[in-house]
Amino acid sequence: MTKEQQGLENLSIWNDAASMLAKAKKDGVETVWDRLHEQRNECAFCAQGLSCSKCVMGPCRINMKGDKRQHGVCGADADLTVARNFGRFVAAGAASHSDHGRDVLDTFAAVAEGKTKDFQIRDEAKLRRIASELGLASEGQPIDAVARALADKFYQDYSSRSERLSFLSRVPEKRRTRWAELGVTPRGIDREVVEMMHRTHMGVDCDATNICLHAVRTALADGWGGSMIATELSDILFGTPRPTASKVNLGVLRKDMVNVLVHGHSPVVSETILAAAKDQDILAEAAKAGAIGINIAGLCCTGNEVLMRQGIPLAGNHLMTELALITGAVELMVVDYQCIMPSLVRIAACYHTRFVSTQDKAKFPGATHVPFTHENARDKAREVLRMAIEAYTKRKPERVEIPGQPVDIMTGFSNEAVLEALGGTPQPLIDAIKAGSVRGVVGIVGCNNPKLTHDYCHTNLAKELIKRDILVVVTGCATVAMGKAGLLTPAGAEQAGQGLASVCKALGIPPVLHVGSCVDNARILHLCAILANALGVDMSDLPVAASAPEWYSEKAAAIGLYAVACGIYTHLGLPPHITGSKTVTDLALNGLEDVIGASFAVEPDPFKAAELIDKRISTKRTALGLTP
């Protein structure tokens, strides 16, 4: 079935997306949906995790249906082949989040050591609080000394000599005991990733279950290590988010301004772009070019970072990144890393748009590369903005089409902000859960996948959950969907059940709380730990769940696995490439429940998924002696 036959409306639920898909067709621009169609009849071996190209004795394909090719050349069967592939998949995701954390740590260390003037510590109170929490001297100490000590401690978390990550002190004792019994307590962040790569080399770990357990350990090193470090240090450097108003969708672009899109995941680049865009000489240059100002808007998780902290509007999520360029209104897209489709360079070239990469680890052929470092970030940001202003003079008004009007949202719900709204303690939320006004909490996270109708699963799952008095917290690309659906404002409480609506109205909050980018899933882990510690229970006892309804990436697999490893039932809209192994699939869907206290569920239908999650929350409430 061609795109024309199935209809543009079946690709996305949003009018702004449909408008830009129609414009892409008119402009002769290829999109992600076109390329997915060209990839039809995908390889069944790859989809099931049954192909292997890890050595040149292969590549091999394991045939589960016949009497031949049941083993690879090395002798690996289906279970081992799938486990090896999945282990490396998780390791790549954990490495991506953790390397993001390392970049933030490097910036933080440069500030602490006085090696940069382009960044500074904006939340000194949080720095001192985190240092004290981790056993470092803080009170009465110079701020740079505290920062250097904290940087050293976090660098140790990345090393192979670490025996336990710093933030494991936040994990409830019962959960830590369970991990110790299973041998999955995360040690050094890099150590777990390297060990996974070693284990999955031919002739090392040949036990599929053992590999999967190490995948758990690797994922936990992401959640309680790299991601949590990235979140906490980003708050210290750039400000801890507080509730603020902003806007979302392609309508945030402006015809009368120089439009610059920041895209990727790290706030290090985007924060300097924001700062430089306020420089009076830069604004004067924009005015001379005929613009009334410079409009910065975000995409994906870099967008989430600056949305949470600075209220910068969010233009779109993963599947909107190409469509944002197709508006013809974007002067420049500046990127850091992760989830940046290589196609964006080609699409930018179809218009007047400049595409600028900034990280040496993330170069894009055809892009203009402007390397940002701690020493030159502000100067490079000014250079990039001047490129955007120059591009504005080349914009062709007849090719510009900005669909729709911006939608209001409320953002900035860090754990600190949530606890402040509750009076400084989690007790009011616990009381609401006990009373049934809030029956449970679900984190809806993750990406978009063109195999599923864009944002259909995100929005419908959230709406079904809040109707059932289940509070939703959201991160990453799912944020855009929630905002466009009207769920990120206090008025969204009208779509919630009576109990949840009453809580939202009393606190003046939305029924879906935006808590950050994908690394900020660490905030959700920490909040669950706070609740479990307050109640004296394991995290697996809480009436909570997680969902990645439209996920696609290795990072999402690591997130899902660390959620399950923490005892959080986790729904996926699509399965990972593991279905070729009965052992690995059964472990994911059933076996982990007995050893970890949670499992995965796979369901593409958001209404059926809501039923599964609701049932889980009811079960956990009953076990705690609460009404279902």
Angle at Cα 45 formed by Cα 43 and Cα 51, nearest 5°?
115
74 in a labelled binding site = yes
Q: Locate all alpha helices (DSSP H) within 291-435, ordered by sequence.
A: 300-310, 321-326, 343-349, 377-392, 415-421, 427-435
Q: Are 195 and 139 in contact (CB under 8 A)?
A: no
Instruction: Name the packing angle between helices 554-565 and 521-535 (round to 10°).
Output: 0
SS3 34: helix
Q: Phi first, then psi: give them for residue 564, nearest 5 degrees.
A: -60, -40
The residues near 99 (Cβ < 8 Å, ≥ 6 apart) are: 226, 361
Calpha distance 3→21 (Å, rounded) = 10
What 3-state class would DSSP assign to 64?
A: coil
Does residue 206 have a known ligand-binding role?
no
Asked whether residue 43 is marked as a ligand-binding residue, the answer is yes
Q: How deeply is 164 buried, as exposed, middle or buried, from its count of CB atoms within 10 A (0-12, 13-18, 19+)?
A: middle
The Cα–Cα gap between 97 and 431 comes to 34
Closest Cα to residue 592, out of 555, 560, 544? 560
* 214 marked as part of a ligand binding site: no
Answer yes or no: is 265 a known binding residue: yes
Spatial contact of 270 and 380, defined as CB atoms under 8 Å apart: no
By C-alpha distance, which of 437, 430, 436, 442 is closest to 537? Answer: 430
First and final C-alpha spacing in the chain: 45
In the chain, DSSP finds a helix count (H) and a strand count (E) of 27, 16
Q: Is 301 annotated as a binding residue?
A: yes
* CA neighbor of 167 nearest in space, from 149, 181, 144, 150: 150
504 is in an annotated binding site: no
* Residue 371 · residue 356 · CB < 8 Å: no
566 annotated as a binding-site residue: no
Q: Which two tokens stand for residue 82?
A: 């799938």
Burial class (CB in 10 A: 0-12, 13-18, 19+), 34: middle
Q: Tokens in use for 16?
A: 């702004």
Q: Is 518 annotated as a binding residue?
A: yes
Which residues are annotated as part of the binding site?
Answer: 43, 52, 55, 60, 74, 265, 301, 339, 447, 477, 518
Which residues are annotated as part of the binding site for [Ni-4Fe-4S] cluster?
Answer: 265, 301, 339, 447, 477, 518
Which residues are annotated as part of the binding site for [4Fe-4S] cluster?
Answer: 43, 52, 55, 60, 74
